[in-house]
């Protein structure tokens, strides 16, 4: 899964007032004051002695002080973002007096996080305490709910030494439940409802944080996703490296022959995936079985998945989307070129990560999903991106191209495509080139034979589309000059 690496805007009223005031007064301190200063200095040099030197010094000092103060206030009030990464927290400059003038804080410095509730509708105030003695109060009314969830997730994920209060943990759970549309249900209720509704009687319970596997070699840090008889976790490998742990369990009442076949299938596919070597694919590091549960250990990629990226940064320009689509199609071309072809089965915006250096990385495979499906007769996955033949249990390489079409649609529009339908992003994103709209429609055709047949063809089509975008010149070779 993608690493949490986000920017949280902090919208306090005083900062808004200061920034608005500085913008309103901009002509005075950025234009008129420098002009007066220049005039004053010019007159002093042109007519020495006419204006008393003391008056010139006082006037220049006052004007310079005003300009620099307004410039500093503008910069401080404009930079209102809290940066969250695996390295720590970086707070806005306006927080400096409260943080002992040290705005960058490592996670090891964070001692405790508490929620001080109030009677308002915003939850209260988040109180962060650091080992150097500073305390930082963050009224939650100044942060969007979705950003609060991101901030608390960072504290949970990396604040290993941080003592989180029960009130804060409960508040975080309520936020997560609301995000998932569960209203006021607790996590326990949610899991009970989900298990009883979807999985019938089963003994599958996701692993708890702190659980050790393989004799202590692997420690579960937290759960990242849960669905079907499988789960995905963030874990420590050998107490140092972060990895992604993917877990799958066969239904307890599965037919013994089907169960054995599914287990053999997963083992073969895990071994095959571990042999894949591509710079834009997260490596499968290992596969093991423990307590009748099958596990894949995957490389952990630092960056944001495309769903998170689009939600945070809103719509991307068409050229960026085309570049991402070329990268994703190139990855599929590599997978499908294997003998036999490697079919991904789960290509979605959630499984493509923009790494910190800008590279697009495929981070997960559908092996465990296929494993569970073959054992239970069901399909596990994100239905908006699943090809019709995949739902019928007849997955082919063109099924991945269907998923790619849905992913391009999401990147252009910010919305998941309608399941089992031909997608036309131009209906929502009017600046989508006709050729790109046609390509997405072809990729989302109902029958495999109606789509483009290979990922290589998709790459070629996307390169032609990129070359035809406004501001790009096409030369004889078809490359962009």
Cis ω for the linkage preceding 243 (within 30 of 0): no
Q: How far apart are alpha carbons 405 and 347 in whole angstroms?
A: 10
Cα–Cα distances in Å, from 289 out to 8, 191, 264, 292, 297?
Answer: 40, 24, 12, 6, 11
Residues 6+ apart with CB under 8 A from 56: 40, 41, 44
Among residues 147, 305, 327, 346, the one annotated as catalytic is 346
Which letter, b or e, does each residue of 21-43 get, where b requires 16 or more Cβ atoms within 10 Å of its Cβ?
A: ebeebeeebeeebeeebeebeee
Question: Is 437 one of the catalytic residues?
Answer: no
- In the sheet that holds 352-355, the strands lie side by side as 303-305, 352-355, 360-362
DSSP classification of residue 93: G
Q: How far apart are alpha carbons 368 and 366 in whole angstroms?
A: 6
Instruction: Using the structure block, give the residue that is written with the tokens 């495929």.
Output: 362
Listing DSSP states for 240-294 in one string gives TEEEEEEEE---TTS-HHHHHHHHHHHHHHHHHHHT---TTB--EEEEEEETTEE
- Write out the two tokens for 36: 């007066």
Instruction: Using the structure block, give the residue that is written with the tokens 């131009």.
Output: 426
Q: Provide the residue count of the chain.
A: 481
3-class secondary structure, 383: helix
Listing DSSP states for 159-176 in one string gives -TT-EE-HHHHHHHHHHH
DSSP classification of residue 225: E
**Active site (catalytic) residues:** 346
């Amino acid at each position: 899964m993608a690493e949490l690496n986000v920017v949280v805007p902090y919208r306090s009223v005083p900062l808004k007032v200061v920034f608005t005031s500085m913008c309103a007064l901009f002509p005075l301190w950025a234009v008129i004051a420098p002009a007066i200063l220049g005039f004053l200095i010019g007159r002093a040099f042109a007519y020495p002695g006419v204006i008393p030197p003391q008056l010139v010094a006082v006037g220049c000092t006052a004007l310079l002080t005003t300009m620099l103060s307004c410039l500093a206030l503008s910069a401080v009030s404009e930079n209102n973002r809290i940066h969250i990464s695996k390295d720590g927290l970086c707070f806005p400059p306006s927080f400096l007096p409260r943080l002992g003038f040290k705005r960058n804080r490592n996670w090891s410095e964070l001692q405790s996080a508490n929620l001080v509730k109030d009677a308002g509708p915003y939850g209260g105030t988040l109180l962060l305490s650091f080992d150097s003695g500073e305390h930082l109060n963050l009224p939650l009314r100044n942060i969007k709910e979705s950003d609060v969830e991101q901030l608390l997730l960072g504290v949970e994920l990396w604040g290993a030494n941080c003592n989180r209060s029960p009130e804060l943990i409960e508040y975080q759970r309520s936020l997560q439940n609301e995000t998932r549309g569960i209203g006021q249900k607790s996590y326990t209720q949610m899991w009970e409802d989900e298990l009883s509704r979807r999985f019938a009687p089963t003994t599958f319970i996701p692993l708890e944080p702190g659980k050790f596997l393989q004799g202590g070699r692997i420690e579960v840090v937290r759960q990242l996703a849960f669905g079907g008889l499988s789960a995905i976790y963030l874990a420590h490998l050998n107490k140092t490296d972060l990895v992604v742990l993917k877990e799958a369990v066969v239904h307890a009442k599965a037919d013994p022959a089907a169960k054995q076949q599914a287990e053999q299938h997963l083992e073969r596919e895990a071994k095959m995936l571990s042999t894949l070597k591509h710079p834009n694919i997260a490596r499968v590091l290992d596969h093991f079985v423990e307590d009748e549960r099958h596990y894949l250990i995957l490389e952990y990629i630092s960056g944001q998945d495309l769903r998170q990226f689009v939600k945070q940064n809103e719509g991307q320009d068409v050229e960026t989307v085309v570049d991402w689509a070329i990268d994703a199609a190139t990855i599929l071309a590599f997978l499908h070129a294997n003998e036999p072809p490697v079919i991904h089965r789960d290509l979605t915006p959630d499984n493509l990560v923009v790494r910190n250096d800008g590279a697009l990385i495929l981070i997960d495979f559908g092996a465990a999903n296929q494993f569970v499906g073959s054992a239970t007769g069901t399909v596990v996955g994100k239905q908006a991106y699943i090809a019709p033949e995949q739902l019928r249990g007849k997955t082919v390489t063109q099924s991945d191209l269907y998923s790619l079409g849905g992913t391009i649609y999401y990147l252009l529009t910010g919305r998941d495509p309608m399941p089992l339908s031909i997608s036309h992003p131009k209906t929502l994103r009017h600046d989508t080139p006709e050729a790109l709209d046609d390509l997405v429609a072809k990729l989302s055709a109902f029958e495999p034979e109606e789509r483009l047949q290979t990922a290589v063809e998709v790459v070629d089509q996307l390169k032609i589309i990129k070359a035809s975008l406004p501001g790009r010149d096409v030369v004889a070779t078809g490359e962009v000059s």
